[in-house]
C-alpha cells in the first residue's frame, strides 16, 4: 500500500477543479495541492518564468514526499512540461486543452478555444493544433483576459461576468463553432456561466475526466494506488493572500506555506 500523497499545483485555485473530481475518483488517496497565488496569474509571464515557477512547485511537492505530480495548470503544462519531465524522476502528468476530441467531434468544422495568452502562444499548443488540424477545420482562439484574476478574487457580480464572457464568446459563436474548449483550469468554475451564453448546439469539452482517468491508470500500472480503506486527506497550501473559500470544500485543510 502506497499512502504517500498525490501532489498537484496551479497558479491559484483553478486546479482545485481537477482535485475535486480526482478526490471523488480516488477517495482513499491523500492529496497535497500548492496554490502559487503569490505569482498568479501565470498567463502573462515569460516562458522562462513559468518553467522556473513550475520547477519550484514540483521541488516543494517532492520535498513533501509526493508519489506522483500533476501540473493542474494549462499554462504551466504547455510551457514547462517537457523541462519538468527531463528533470523529475517520478511520474508527472499535465493538463492539456481538449483540442483532439473537439477536432474528432466537430460537424461544423469550427472549434472555439478560450485560454490564457501563454497557453495559446506555447509550442505544445501549436504542435497539438498542427498535428490534429485537418485542412478544413478552423480553430478560433480567444484569450480570456482577466478571467483568472476575476475567478481568484471571487468578487465580481454574475451580471458583470456575463457581460465580459459575451465579449469573448460571441465572436466564436458567430463563427459557427459547435465545440468550445476551456484551455484553463480556472475556467471550469465558470462553466455554468459560459453554458448559459452558448446556444444549445455548442458543447463544452470535458478535459478533466480524461486526465483523472490517466492519473488513475498511471498509479495502477506503477502499483502506487493507496489500497487502504480509510478516507484520504486533502491539504491545500497557498503562498500569497488567503484564498477565496468560495470554491474550496470545507473538509479540505487550508494553510499558508512559503514555497
Checking if the pLDDT of 141 tops 70, the result is yes
User: SS3 sequence, the chain?
Assistant: CCCCCEEEEECCCCCHHHHHHHHHHCCCCCEEEEECHHHCCCCCCCHHHHHHHHHHHHHHHHHCCCCEEEECCHHHHHHHHHHHHHHCCCCEEECCCCHHHHHHHCCCCEEEEEECHHHHHCHHHHHHHHHHCCCCCEEEEEECCCHHHHHHHCCCCHHHHHHHHHHHHHHHHHCCCCEEEEECHHHHHHHHHHHHHCCCCCEECCCHHHHHHHHHHHHHHCCCCCCCCCCCCEEEEECCCCCCHHHCCCCCEEEECCC
Please tell me the predicted confidence (pLDDT) of residue 123: 76
Topology of the domain comprising 99-204:
Rossmann fold (3.40.50)
- Annotated catalytic residue within 40, 58, 66, 73: 73
* CATH class of segment(s) 6-95+208-256: alpha beta
* Residue 58 among the catalytic residues: no
Task: Encode pLDDT of 26-46 as tens digits.
Answer: 999 999 999 999 999 999 899
What is the pTM assigned to this prediction?
Answer: 0.90
Domain residue spans of the chain: 6-95+208-256, 99-204
Percentage, residues of the chain above pLDDT 70: 97
Amino acid at each position: 500500500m502506497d499512502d504517500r500523497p498525490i501532489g498537484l499545483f496551479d497558479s491559484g485555485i483553478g486546479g482545485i477543479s481537477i482535485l475535486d473530481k480526482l478526490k471523488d475518483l480516488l477517495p482513499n488517496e491523500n492529496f497535497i495541492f500548492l496554490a502559487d497565488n503569490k505569482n498568479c496569474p501565470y498567463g502573462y509571464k515569460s516562458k522562462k518564468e513559468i518553467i522556473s515557477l513550475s520547477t519550484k512547485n514540483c521541488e516543494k511537492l517532492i520535498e513533501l514526499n509526493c508519489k506522483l505530480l500533476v501540473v493542474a495548470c494549462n499554462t504551466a503544462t504547455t510551457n514547462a512540461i517537457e523541462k519538468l519531465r527531463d528533470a523529475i524522476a517520478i511520474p508527472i502528468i499535465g493538463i492539456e486543452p481538449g483540442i483532439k476530441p473537439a477536432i474528432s467531434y466537430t460537424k461544423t468544422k469550427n472549434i472555439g478555444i478560450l485560454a490564457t495568452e501563454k497557453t495559446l502562444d506555447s509550442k505544445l499548443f501549436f504542435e497539438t493544433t498542427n498535428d490534429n488540424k485537418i485542412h478544413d477545420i478552423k480553430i478560433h482562439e480567444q484569450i480570456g483576459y482577466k478571467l483568472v484574476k476575476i475567478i481568484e478574487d471571487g468578487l465580481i457580480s454574475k451580471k458583470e461576468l456575463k457581460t465580459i464572457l459575451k465579449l469573448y464568446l460571441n465572436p466564436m459563436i458567430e463563427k459557427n463553432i459547435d465545440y468550445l474548449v476551456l484551455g484553463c483550469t480556472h475556467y471550469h468554475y465558470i462553466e455554468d456561466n459560459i453554458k448559459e451564453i452558448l446556444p444549445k448546439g455548442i458543447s463544452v469539452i470535458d478535459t478533466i475526466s480524461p486526465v483523472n482517468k490517466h492519473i488513475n491508470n498511471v498509479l495502477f500500472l506503477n502499483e502506487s494506488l493507496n489500497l487502504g480503506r480509510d478516507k484520504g486527506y486533502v491539504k491545500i497550501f497557498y503562498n500569497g493572500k488567503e484564498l477565496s473559500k468560495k470554491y474550496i470544500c470545507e473538509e479540505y485543510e487550508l494553510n499558508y506555506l512559503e514555497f
